[in-house]
Amino acid sequence: MSIRALKGFKDILPDEAGVWQHIEATAREVFHRFGFTEIKVPILEKTELFARSIGEATDIVEKEMYSFTDRNGESITMRPEGTASVLRAFIEHGLQVKLPVQKLYTIGPMFRHERPQKGRLRQFHQMSVEVLGLDHPLLDAEVIAMGWLLLDELGLSVSLQINSLGCPACRPAYKEALLSFLAARQDKVCEDCQRRSSTNPLRVLDCKSAHCQEQYQAAPSILDHLCPDCADHFRRTRAGLDLLAIPYQVNNFMVRGLDYYCRTTFELLTDALGAQSAVGAGGRYDGLVEQLGGPKNTPGIGFALGMERLVLLLSEQQPSAGLSQQADLFVAALGEAAGAKAFALLHLLRKKGVRVAMDLAGRSLKSQMKQADRVNARYVLIMGEEELAANEAVLRDMASKEQSSLSLAPALDQVCAELIKKLN
Ligand code: ATP
Ligand code: MG
């Protein structure tokens, strides 16, 4: 019996690669426009890093992490998200010394042991960005605007929801208000929510049960409990979005699944993927660098976009996105002598940057023309025995069907130069 991939782990096949590359290339280009540089961090980290940043009483740390003891008896974890690792690297290498504001992005696989569904996998990919060293509200607007612009350039329309989670000065009072609201309703909510009420009360607002959500309609709003500084920060963040004409809805019940968030949080949502409605999400995490042992007063903000969900949306909304010409030219050679000449010509063309293919096995002309179609070649150069005897090859434009001849008499690098002229 053959071995299959693990449940929730997926191969990205050649047919899909174009869309993935298109999304990644667009993202990099947009991130660079905003002054971000790439950082690459390891997939494995000490388990403690995630417990200390994401929070012990979160779904991710409680039940979704791939953690194991390695051969030295150390508990390590396959990263479930990118922020913790990027911050660890930022602190470990003292990056703040080099530049007061660091704008970093990273792209790669993440691992969470959840129930696989459409747009929800156990190995999935995120493009995530972090800005460290600044807490200006216009930065929040700018970071959100970058995510918005990227999705716009990909041709995707999403909606934006924002909220403020306050700060350690004002959240405790809100927690109290929420707790007394919940205390009166313990028998009306699910078991998970009853448990969360004592471990992590804000998280109840994130419950997926419609019945619980109905109860929470009347819950107190965090926005009525913000301290003056947080209220001002939220007001100026929204004003920043208004300046950029980016539409948003304020959702005062959006809490996000990671403990480290404070002040601005946001989600980019679609209604095209069923329950998997978030294509991206993020927020501010001002205390996190210090909490991980880094320098004091290093505020931060970031977001992550889910690649699989973007790929699904793009393949549904624009099936041709990311499709590209796989070859500029296919050289169809027949017979050993022509094959040898074509083989040498191919290498010269590739050195000059031409994407070119041939059939090394030298099958029939009919079969080679089929192969040329399959790689979507713009031109085919036919080098048959007859053509070779006359020292000429035939160049066919596959779209217009026009043909012209190419002399094979000169030295091969001259033939190559002539051919390139005809291709352009
Ligand atoms: P959800 O509510 O869908 O579980 P989340 O709040 O757990 O999302 P984040 O941790 O904020 O997600 O991750 C940011 C983005 O990464 C999400 O908006 C989503 O696009 C993507 N993502 C998260 N978990 C998965 C997964 N298991 N499979 C595929 N994509 C995912
Ligand atoms: Mg989740």
What integer pLDDT is reported at residue 200 of this predicted model?
84
Atom 29, ligand 1: residue with shortest CA distance = 120
Q: How confident is the model at residue 198 (pLDDT cuts 50, 70, 90)?
A: confident
User: What's the rounded Cα separation, in Å, for the pair 259 and 298?
Assistant: 17
pLDDT for 393 beyond 90: yes
What integer pLDDT is reported at residue 324 of this predicted model?
63
Check pocket membership of 59 for ligand 1, CB cut-off 6 A: no
Tell me what the mean pLDDT of segment 353-368 comes to: 96
The ligand placed nearest to the CA atom of residue 80 is 1
Nearest atom in ligand 1 to the alpha carbon of residue 114 is 27
User: What's the rounded Cα separation, in Å, for the pair 45 and 327?
Assistant: 41
Nearest atom in ligand 1 to the alpha carbon of residue 267 is 18
For the domain 327-423, what is the CATH superfamily, name and number? Answer: Anticodon-binding domain (3.40.50.800)
**CA distances for 335 relative to 323, 348, 360, angstroms:** 33, 20, 11
Check pocket membership of 120 for ligand 1, CB cut-off 6 A: yes
Q: Tell me which of 309, 311, 312, 313 to substitute to probe ligand 1's pocket, judged by most ligand atoms within 8 Å of the beta carbon.
A: 309
pLDDT for 322 beyond 70: no
User: What's the rounded Cα separation, in Å, for the pair 185 and 212?
Assistant: 10
pLDDT for 143 beyond 70: yes
Amino acid at 302: G
Q: How confident is the model at residue 320 (pLDDT cuts 50, 70, 90)?
A: confident
Atom 6, ligand 1: residue with shortest CA distance = 257
Spacing, Cα 60 to ligand 2 middle (Å): 7
User: What's the rounded Cα separation, in Å, for the pair 163 and 333?
Assistant: 64
What integer pLDDT is reported at residue 206 of this predicted model?
85
Sign of CA dihedral 124, 129, 135, 141: negative
Q: 3-state class of 241 per DSSP?
A: helix
**Spans of all domains in the chain:** 14-170+226-317, 327-423
Nearest atom in ligand 1 to the alpha carbon of residue 120 is 28
What integer pLDDT is reported at residue 12 of this predicted model?
95
Which tokens is 286 given? 């001002």
User: What's the rounded Cα separation, in Å, for the pair 214 and 210?
Assistant: 6
What integer pLDDT is reported at residue 259 of this predicted model?
81
Question: Would you say 197 and 187 are in contact if contact means Cβ atoms under 8 Å apart?
Answer: no
Spacing, Cα 81 to ligand 1 middle (Å): 9
The ligand placed nearest to the CA atom of residue 304 is 1
Strand partners, 411: none
Question: Would you say 93 and 287 are in contact if contact means Cβ atoms under 8 Å apart?
Answer: no
φ, ψ at 189 (rounded to 5°): -115, 165
For the domain 14-170+226-317, what is the CATH superfamily, name and number? Answer: Bira Bifunctional Protein; Domain 2 (3.30.930.10)
Check pocket membership of 278 for ligand 1, CB cut-off 6 A: yes
Spacing, Cα 215 to ligand 1 middle (Å): 25
Nearest atom in ligand 1 to the alpha carbon of residue 268 is 18
Sign of CA dihedral 60, 62, 65, 67: positive
Mean pLDDT of the chain: 94
The ligand placed nearest to the CA atom of residue 303 is 1
DSSP string, 14-65: HHHHHHHHHHHHHHHHHHHHTT-EE----SEEEHHHHHHHT-TTSHIIIII-
Cβ-based neighbours of 247, under 8 Å, separated by 6 or more: 159, 160
Percent of the chain with pLDDT over 70: 99
Spacing, Cα 57 to ligand 2 middle (Å): 14
Check pocket membership of 146 for ligand 1, CB cut-off 6 A: no
Q: Report pTM.
A: 0.91
Going by the DSSP 8-state scheme, the letter that residue 117 receives in this structure is B
Spacing, Cα 58 to ligand 2 middle (Å): 10
